[in-house]
Structure 1
Amino acid sequence: MNKIKIMETCLRDGHQSLMATRLTTAEMLPIIEKLDSVGYHSLEMWGGATFDAALRFLNEDPWERLREIKKRVKNTKLQMLLRGQNLLGYRNYADDIVERFVKKSIQNGIDIVRIFDALNDVRNLQTACEATKKYGGHAQLAMSYTISPVHTIEYYKNLALEMQEIGADSIAIKDMSGILLPEVAYELVKELKSILRVPVEVHTHATAGLASMTYIKAVEAGADIIDTAISPLSGGTSQPATESIVRAFQGTERETGFDLELLKEIA
């Protein structure tokens, strides 16, 4: 099997989860080149609450943050989180606004757009997905994970197939509450890998103390990419520590090849 790929979340979900998205651009820029040299699959550094927090609390231009980071990143894809038809706001927007926002995001440096709808309504993903592909980006469609009598393995399999059908370049399992159990992750990833043509990424949070175990089982089942955060911005409501996950897979067929000394310098 191929090496497991890692998406680093410290520039977006890590500090959004632990610090109310208050890292400033100036605090990020000194470490960008080192992050770029690690070998990550991508750096998640935009979208989610970063847009709102930059404007509302930090008196910053979020577009300038994107451009400044892009200037410094030569080897790693930049990734963002987009709320489907809601973009980065808290209401739905017209299709032409969605298309133009996605276009400008890609033009300013975004490579991968992770698109989700909190209720898994694929209709709210379609415009953003089409726009991402139209302007040369990678459209990753994310399934919002929860537990209920309705949300079965079969439900997520059908949802993933529907997402693939509308053009998803990859599929993410987005476990924002950290409730995806290790054995369920194994079964879900295994089933998805058996029916999908596109890569599968797993995103979870350490909130319930399950995340590292969940990642190990997901990788055993064939997950292509997992999301981690460098140790100072890991744990709690964030993701598992990048260093710990890298070490856990050393000596296995899925090892990352990352330099732990470099990760230590970054931390």
Structure 2
Amino acid sequence: MSTVVDIVDTTTRDGNQSLWSATGLTTQDILAIAPTIDRVGFRAVDFSSSTHMAVAVRFHQEDPWERLRLVRAAMPETPLSFITSGMRFITWVPADEDVMRLAFRCVARNGIRRVQVVDPSNEVPRLRRVAAMARQEGVEQVVLGLTYSVSEVHTHAYYAERAAALADCAEMDALYLKDPGGLLTPDAVRELAPHFVRAAGDRPAELHSHCTIGLAPFVYVEGLRWGFQVLHTAVAPLARGTSNPAAETTLRNLEAEGYSHRLDLDALSAMSEHFRELGREKGLPVGTPQEFDATYYHHQLAGGMVSTTRRMLEELRRPELFDAALEEVGRVRAEMGYPIIVTPVSQLVATQAVRNVIDAERWSNVSDETIRYFLGHYGEPVAPIAPEVAERVLSLPRVEGLRHLEPLHLEGARERFGRRISDEELLLRLTMPEEQVDAMLGSKPVAARSLSSRRHPVVTLLREVAKRPSVAELRVRKGDELVEWRRAT
């Protein structure tokens, strides 16, 4: 009897973020296909994050809490998952425990059943603390993740030690290896898998990687061979490129290796076509296979940050410095104590690298957020910071004004924003610009908007049939409903 592999779908969160800048999907876009997604049979849908909630408000004037409620109602069988980097909600400013508890309480009661917890520094005590908070505030499933990186300190022993330290976490329902940069190789996952599987025990071990340099499909096959039971994929239009492996290809690969799955392939195909059509309508790119690029291991910037770095240099009219900036990223990262290149630290490293290659002297121009990094507001670096760089940054005149960072807390928030507003609105007002929240609240709720603006699948079918002269007649029946089409003569 073959081993059954479960799939977590990343299309609406990580796929959207990796290829469509997190702005490509509206609530209506997702609702139109949600019942079909529910039929596919995914273990869970990696659906949202505080970043995606902010995008819904800022770019679409949509209530992100309403999005959770509507999609949860439209796909009741499949758990919706929320990813968090720990003690932070929407803004980069760290959040106090009272804010995070309220955030977990709100996402749980609005439809989130599963939370994926990662930490930018892989700090085990913080992962355990956040897991306990999420469970206590009503989250059904808590998945803890260790974020993969490559450096002098991010060795396989480093990950084995941290996985073992999570093994007895009572709130952990699954453990996953998260590779946002697509850095894992088949050899690396072969060595790491036993440690993750052992730490997970009788709980699932999940594997998440990206196709940024083309290795993720190979990594997934090797991961299955060595004990991972759950893979994270997106449907083809929002897969590959800097996104996750395509579900369709992954299923073929695992079947070829003798594994089986639970997915409804017809529903999966319909889901994939929906997002492909959306991409065509909105002029958004689909993911394409990437070639292996060994230089990526030096800078480790995700695809979105590579394009952002190029755009920064073009705006500064210095595009010729792009290669030098990528080279500088590796140097800056080493000097900053080898932070893992994930949000928000990836932005700090890339921006500093651009400044260093443009300015006459390195580290002469430093952002406030980078100063806060050197002050320890982003956690303790895993390796020592270069002393000469730290001395230069911490001698800047602005340091004293930034030294004491007040975390976001709820004390006094009701007095500032009103005692009659909901907890959900309070969280948005606490973390976002007033005018953006006001604009969202002033727009018509998604539930009251017509969903008919999305093209019905039958209309799409008839438009495609009309392009094929060989088809003269078509009949589509569903229950008592019949649609008949004949080509005009």
CA distance in 2, matches of 1:123, 1:86: 16
1:212 aligns with 2:207: no
For 1:141-179, what per-residue CA distance to the aligned partner results, in whole angstroms no more than 9, with x for missing partners?
110110112112221121112223343221111101001
The aligned residue for residue 3 of structure 1 is: 4
Given that residues 104 and 139 in structure 2 are in contact (C-alpha distance below 8 angstroms), is that contact kept between their aligned partners in structure 1?
no
1:240 is displaced (CA, Å) by 0.9
CA distance 1:3–1:89, change in 2 (3 Å)? farther
Query: Which of 146, 151, 157 is equivalent to 2:149?
Result: 146
Residues 105-149 of structure 1 show CA distances to partners (whole Å, capped at 9, x for unaligned) of: 111111110011111122332332112222242111110110112
1:156 to 144, 156, 159: 159
Q: Please, which moves more after superposition, 74-83 or 187-196?
A: 187-196
2:123 aligned counterpart, secondary structure: coil
Distance in 2, Cα, partners of 1:178 & 1:257: 26
**Quick one: distance in 2 between partners of 1:123 and 1:143?**
13
Distance in structure 2 (CA, Å) of the matches to 1:113 and 1:97: 16
Cα 1:3–1:17 shift into 2, 3 Å = same
- Determine if the alignment matches structure 1 residue 250 to structure 2 residue 263: no
Any idea what the Cα deviations from partners look like across 1:209-264, whole Å, max 9, x if unmatched? 11111111111111021100001111111111111111112255421132333322
Matches within 5 A, 1:126-205: 126-134=128-136, 135-167=138-170, 168-197=172-201, 198-205=203-210
> Size of the alignment, in residue pairs?
267
> Runs of 4 or more off by more than 4 Å in structure 1?
none
- Which runs of 5 or more structure 1 residues have no equivalent in the other structure? none
Displacement of 1:74 in angstroms is 2.2
| Pick aligned residue for 1:31 from 26, 30, 33 | 33
Q: Which residue of 2 is the match for residue 75 of structure 1?
A: 77
- RMSD of aligned Cα (Å): 1.6
Q: Distance in 1 between matches of 2:211 and 2:121?
A: 22
TM (norm. structure 2) is 0.53
CA distance in 2: counterparts of 1:200 and 1:87, whole angstroms? 26
Specify the structure having the higher radius of gyration (Cα): 2
Counterpart residue number, 1:237: 242
Aligned partners of 2:262 and 2:126: how far apart in 1? 38
Q: Per-residue CA shift, 1:79-123, capped at 9, x if unaligned?
A: 111110113432211011111111111111111100111111223
Q: What TM-score do you get using the length of structure 1 for normalisation?
A: 0.94
On the 8 A contact 2:81/2:112 being kept in 1, the answer is yes
What SS class does the counterpart of residue 89 from structure 1 fall into?
Answer: coil
- The 1:156–1:48 alpha-carbon spacing in structure 2 relative to 1, beyond 3 Å, is farther
Tell which deviates more after alignment, 88-97 or 30-39: 88-97
Counterpart position of 1:113: 115
Which residue identity does 1:169 align to in structure 2?
D
Work out whether residues 44 and 81 of structure 2, in 8 Å CA contact, stay in contact via their aligned partners in 1: yes
**237-246 or 124-133, larger mean C-alpha shift:** 124-133
| 1:53-80 Cα distance to aligned partner (Å, 9 max, x none) | 1122221111111001000112211111
Matched, 1:223 2:228: yes
Matches within 5 A, 1:45-84: 45-47=47-49, 49-84=51-86
The question of whether the paired residues in 2 share the 8 Å contact of 1:95 and 1:127 is answered with: no
CA contact (8 A) 2:147 2:178 kept: yes
What percentage of aligned pairs have identical amino acids? 30
Residue 49 of structure 1 aligns to a residue whose secondary structure is helix
**Paired residues of 2:14 and 2:243 also in contact (CA < 8 A):** yes
The 1:164/1:174 distance shift into structure 2, 3 A limit, reads: same
Q: 1:48 Cα shift? A: 5.2
